[in-house]
Amino acid sequence: MPFYQDLTDENAAIQFWKYNEDDVFDHTDLINPEDFAKVEHYHPKKLIEYLMIRQMLKMLKPDHKILYKTIGQPYLFPKDAFISISHSYPFAALAISQKRVGIDMERIQPKIVRVKHKFLNEAELSWTETENEVELLTVIWAVKEALYKLHPSKLWSLKKHYEVEKFSLNALSEICCRVFDMDFEDAYTARVTKMEDYYFAVVEEDHSLNFRIPDTSPF
């Protein structure tokens, strides 16, 4: 099994894998029995993504399996660690940590400019309209998606409740970002890696500063 990169740090085991046509998977060993009927009808590329994630899990935690909450968030069973997954054929990534972690990969594509108004706020729009706009937008999208995996909620908007501070494409190891609403704010430092034509973002709970916004109401 050819790993593309190992991004493991002191907080989380993070594996990144690029599919190779020589890869061989044991379907019986990797597919949960209760999922077999559903998974075996996946599109071939989607099935490969599923199998890559489970193969990496088998190497890191062989006695565990991935289940999903009703909102679609994956979790480990037994529940003795947090996980996050991301895949975009031919790549797949898995992160396992004792604290919350979010990962996401996004392919660099010009069409992202057409939808930027859906996930950028006014402040972000003001500094991303440059010659590097496509890459800046891709990094922001990846960071916000990774943040969302730390704070999964169907009620939150990537545009209204997630923000990425201005950064340089030459300095992607410490990107300041935050999740917030009227009552609280969680600030984080994301790290992003470029891999071929993808950006890969990691946000970890250990790299956060959590605080409540004080109530300034006179009542």
How many angstroms separate the CA atoms of 113 and 37, rounded?
39
The CATH topology of domain 105-212 is Ribosomal Protein L22; Chain A (3.90.470)
Tell which residue, 146, 61, 51, 151, has the closest CA to residue 98: 61
73-77, 80-84, 174-178, 182-186: segment of lowest average pLDDT? 182-186
Structure-token pair, residue 218: 């006179």
Task: Show the beta-strand stretches assigned E in the chain.
Answer: 3-6, 12-18, 65-68, 74-77, 82-88, 91-97, 101-107, 162-164, 175-180, 184-195, 198-212
55-71 pLDDT, tens digit per residue, is 999 999 999 999 988 77
pTM of the model: 0.89
How many angstroms separate the CA atoms of 148 and 105, rounded?
13
State the first-to-last Cα distance of the chain, in angstroms, to the nearest integer. 62
119-175 pLDDT, tens digit per residue, is 999 999 999 999 999 999 999 999 999 999 988 766 689 999 999 999 999 999 999
Cα–Cα–Cα angle for 141, 188, 7, rounded to 5 degrees: 70
Cis peptide before 2 (omega within 30 of 0): no
Domain limits, the chain: 3-98, 105-212
The CATH topology of domain 3-98 is Ribosomal Protein L22; Chain A (3.90.470)
Q: Do 3-98 and 105-212 share a fold?
A: yes
